[in-house]
Structure 1
Amino acid sequence: MSDPRWSEALAHLPDYLGNHVRVSVAALALGLLISLPLALIARNRPVLRGTLLGLASIVQTVPGLALLALFYPLLLALTALTAAWLGFSFSAFGFLPAVLALALYSMLPVLRNTITGLSGVDPAVLEAAQGVGMTPRQSLTMVELPLAMPVMMAGIRTAAVWVIGTATLSTPIGQTSLGNYIFAGLQTQNWVFVLFGCFAATVLALVVDQLLALIENGLRNRSRIRTALGGLGIAALIAATLVPAIARPQARYVVGAKTFTEQYVLSALMAQRLQAAGLPTTTRAGLGSNVIFDALAAGDIDVYVDYSGTLWANQFHHTDIRPRAELLGELKTTLARQDITLFGELGFENAYALVMPKKRADQLGIHSIADLASHAATMSIAGDYEFFSRPEWAGIQKAYGLTFRAQRQMQPDFMYAAVASGEVDVIAGYTSDGLIAKYDLVALADDRHAIPPYDAIVLLSPKRRDDETLKAALRPLLGKIGIAAMREANLRASGNDASSSPDAVARWLWEKIGPK
Structure 2
Amino acid sequence: MSLFTDPRWGEALGHLPDYLGNHVRVSLAALALGLIVSLPLAILTRNRPTPRAVLLALASIVQTVPGLALLALFYPLLLLAASVTLAWFGVSFSAFGFLPAMLALALYSMLPVLRNGITGLNGIDPALIEAAKGVGMTARQSLVMVELPLALPVMMAGIRTAAVWVIGTATLSTPIGQTSLGNYIFAGLQTQNWVFVLFGCFASALLALAVDQLLGLIESGLRWRSRGRAALGAAGIAALVAATLVPTMGRSSQSYVVGAKTFAEQYVLSALMRDRLQAAGLSAVARSGLGSSVIFEALKAGDIDLYVDYSGTLWANQLHRTDIKPRAELLAELKTTLAKENITLLGELGFENAYALVIPKKRAEALGIRTIADLAAHASTLSIAGDYEFFSRPEWAALQKAYGLSFRAQRQMQPDFMYAAVASGEVDVIAGYTSDGLIAKYDLVALDDPRHAIPPYDAILLLAPKRAGDERLRAALKPLLGKIDIATMREANLRAAGNDANSSPDAVARWLWEKVGGR
Q: Give the TM interval when normalised to the shorter protein.
A: over 0.9
Aligned to 2:454: 451
Which among 47, 52, 57 is matched to residue 49 of structure 1? 52
Aligned to 1:329: 332
**Could you give the per-residue CA deviations for residues 221-258 of structure 1, whole angstroms, max 9, x where no partner exists?**
33222222211221122222222233433452000000
- Map 1:334-483; keep pairs closer than 5 Å: 334-483=337-486
Which among 169, 172, 181 is matched to residue 169 of structure 1? 172
CA contact (8 A) 1:188 1:501 kept: yes
User: Are residue 8 (structure 1) and residue 11 (structure 2) matched?
Assistant: yes
Q: Displaced runs of 4+ in structure 1, greater than 4 A? A: none
Aligned to 1:156: 159
CA contact (8 A) 1:80 1:89 kept: yes
Which among 316, 320, 335 is matched to residue 317 of structure 1? 320
CA shift, 1:273, in A, is: 0.5
Aligned to 1:33: 36
CA shift, 1:375, in A, is: 1.1
Aligned to 1:494: 497
TM-score, with length taken from structure 1: 0.99
**Could you give the per-residue CA deviations for residues 161-182 of structure 1, whole angstroms, max 9, x where no partner exists?**
0000000000000000000000
- Map 1:37-116; keep pairs closer than 5 Å: 37-116=40-119
Amino acid at match of 1:482: D
Aligned to 1:126: 129
* Identical counterparts, % of pairs: 81
User: Are residue 287 (structure 1) and residue 260 (structure 2) matched?
Assistant: no
2:75 aligned counterpart, secondary structure: helix
Aligned to 1:271: 274
Q: Distance in 2 between matches of 1:255 and 1:162?
A: 30
Q: Distance in 2 between matches of 1:396 and 1:265?
A: 29
CA shift, 1:2, in A, is: 4.1
TM-score, with length taken from structure 2: 0.98
Q: Distance in 2 between matches of 1:406 and 1:215?
A: 54
Q: Distance in 2 between matches of 1:497 and 1:277?
A: 29
Q: Distance in 2 between matches of 1:270 and 1:243?
A: 26
CA shift, 1:515, in A, is: 2.2
Q: Distance in 1 between matches of 2:245 and 2:279?
A: 28
Moved more, 108-117 or 240-249: 240-249
**Could you give the per-residue CA deviations for residues 135-166 of structure 1, whole angstroms, max 9, x where no partner exists?**
00000011000100111000000000000000
Amino acid at match of 2:36: L
Amino acid at match of 1:81: V
Q: Distance in 2 between matches of 1:55 and 1:327?
A: 48
CA shift, 1:359, in A, is: 0.2
Q: Distance in 2 between matches of 1:204 and 1:290?
A: 31
Aligned to 1:202: 205
**Could you give the per-residue CA deviations for residues 171-210 of structure 1, whole angstroms, max 9, x where no partner exists?**
0000000000000011111110000000000000001111
CA contact (8 A) 1:255 1:267 kept: yes
Aligned to 1:239: 242
Amino acid at match of 2:13: L
Amino acid at match of 2:231: A
Which among 19, 43, 48 is matched to residue 22 of structure 2? 19
Q: Distance in 2 between matches of 1:163 and 1:482?
A: 44
Q: Distance in 2 between matches of 1:200 and 1:248?
A: 23
Q: Distance in 1 between matches of 2:493 and 2:209?
A: 37
Moved more, 93-102 or 250-259: 250-259
Aligned to 1:220: 223
Amino acid at match of 2:60: S
**Could you give the per-residue CA deviations for residues 287-310 of structure 1, whole angstroms, max 9, x where no partner exists?**
111000000000000000000000
When the two chains are superposed, the root-mean-square deviation of aligned CA atoms in Å is 0.9
**Could you give the per-residue CA deviations for residues 32-90 of structure 1, whole angstroms, max 9, x where no partner exists?**
01101111111111110000000000000000000000000000011001111100010
- Map 1:182-201; keep pairs closer than 5 Å: 182-201=185-204
Amino acid at match of 1:493: A
Q: Distance in 2 between matches of 1:490 and 1:352?
A: 15
Amino acid at match of 1:30: L
**Gaps spanning 5+ residues in structure 1: where?**
none
Q: Distance in 1 between matches of 2:248 and 2:24?
A: 11
CA contact (8 A) 1:251 1:282 kept: no
Count of matched residue positions in the alignment of Structure 1 and Structure 2: 516
Amino acid at match of 2:169: T
1:238 aligned counterpart, secondary structure: helix
Q: Distance in 2 between matches of 1:244 and 1:306?
A: 31
Q: Distance in 1 between matches of 2:338 and 2:357?
A: 29
CA shift, 1:218, in A, is: 2.3
CA contact (8 A) 1:65 1:169 kept: yes
1:475 aligned counterpart, secondary structure: helix
